[in-house]
């Protein structure tokens, strides 16, 4: 029988929805206590059927192995202000009881040759369905705003050129990757001053939601 994609993707949709609420809830708790939140905002998405099929073909993945071999069908992205915040977010994730970390990939200390930087964590998350509990793999990417800006542009260009960048584009991506790295390093040097300044603002006036609607986080940022 052909795979029922709608039924197959339902647990992933549920996983992304629940994890967005929980991760945004962490940020809400910090802000309600007028404490600095290492989480700036959270977005999420479920891969489209077309994108999954493309990855299956590229990697030679069989239909019966999709759930294990394609681990980013459910994807979340946690944005932070500073590089040092990434370790704080990782510590929060590692101590959670509602998910287990399968593996981690550090592309910050081990930057890709393209200039890509991010920290990837694959977690196993249990979702409750009418047929019982199902464990779903989800990939959580943690990155600074500078990392995300560069990665988003590179991702768009990758689609346009199908991975075969012209030399001029390669050079510009390499240059801007270095600039993004330098920006993160400079911001790190004044991190404490920025954090203190932000906490001087009345938290009531800050634009954050109740953790359910999450109106300040746009999933359009994560494609």
> Which are the catalytic amino acids?
139
Instruction: Determine phi and psi for 123, rounding to 5 degrees.
Output: -120, 155
Question: Quick one: residue 105, left, alpha or beta (phi over 0 = left, psi -120 to 50 = alpha)?
Answer: beta
Find tokens 């346009």 and name the residue: 160
**β-sheet with 100-106: strand ranges across:** 41-46, 74-80, 132-144, 119-129, 100-106
Which stretches of 70-218 are DSSP H helices? 83-94, 145-161, 167-189, 191-199
The 8 Å CB, 24+ separation contacts for 120-125 are: 121/90, 121/93, 122/71, 122/72, 123/93, 123/99, 124/99, 124/100, 125/15, 125/18, 125/19, 125/74, 125/98, 125/99
**DSSP 8-state code for residue 109:** T
Sequence-ordered list of residues with C-beta below 8 angstroms from that of 67, at least 6 positions apart, any chain: 73, 136, 137
């Amino acid at each position: 029988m052909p795979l029922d994609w709608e039924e197959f993707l339902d647990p992933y949709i549920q996983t992304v929805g629940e994890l967005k609420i929980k991760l945004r809830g962490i940020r809400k708790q910090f802000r309600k206590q007028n404490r600095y939140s290492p989480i700036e905002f959270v977005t999420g998405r479920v891969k489209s059927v077309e994108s999954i099929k493309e990855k299956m073909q590229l990697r030679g993945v069989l239909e019966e192995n999709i759930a294990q071999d394609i681990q980013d069908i459910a994807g979340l992205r946690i944005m932070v202000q500073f590089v040092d915040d990434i370790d704080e977010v990782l510590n929060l994730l590692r101590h959670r009881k509602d998910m287990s970390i399968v593996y981690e990939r550090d592309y910050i200390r081990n930057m890709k040759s393209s200039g890509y930087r991010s920290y990837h964590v694959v977690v196993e998350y249990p979702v409750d369905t009418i047929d019982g509990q199902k464990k779903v793999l989800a990939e959580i990417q943690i990155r600074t705003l500078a990392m995300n800006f560069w990665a988003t542009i590179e991702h768009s260009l990758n689609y346009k050129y199908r991975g075969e960048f012209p030399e001029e584009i390669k050079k510009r991506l390499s240059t801007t990757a270095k600039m993004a790295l330098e920006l993160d390093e400079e911001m790190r040097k004044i991190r404490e001053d920025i954090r203190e300044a932000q906490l001087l603002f009345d938290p009531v006036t800050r634009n954050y939601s109740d953790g359910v609607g999450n109106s300040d986080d746009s999933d359009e940022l994560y494609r």
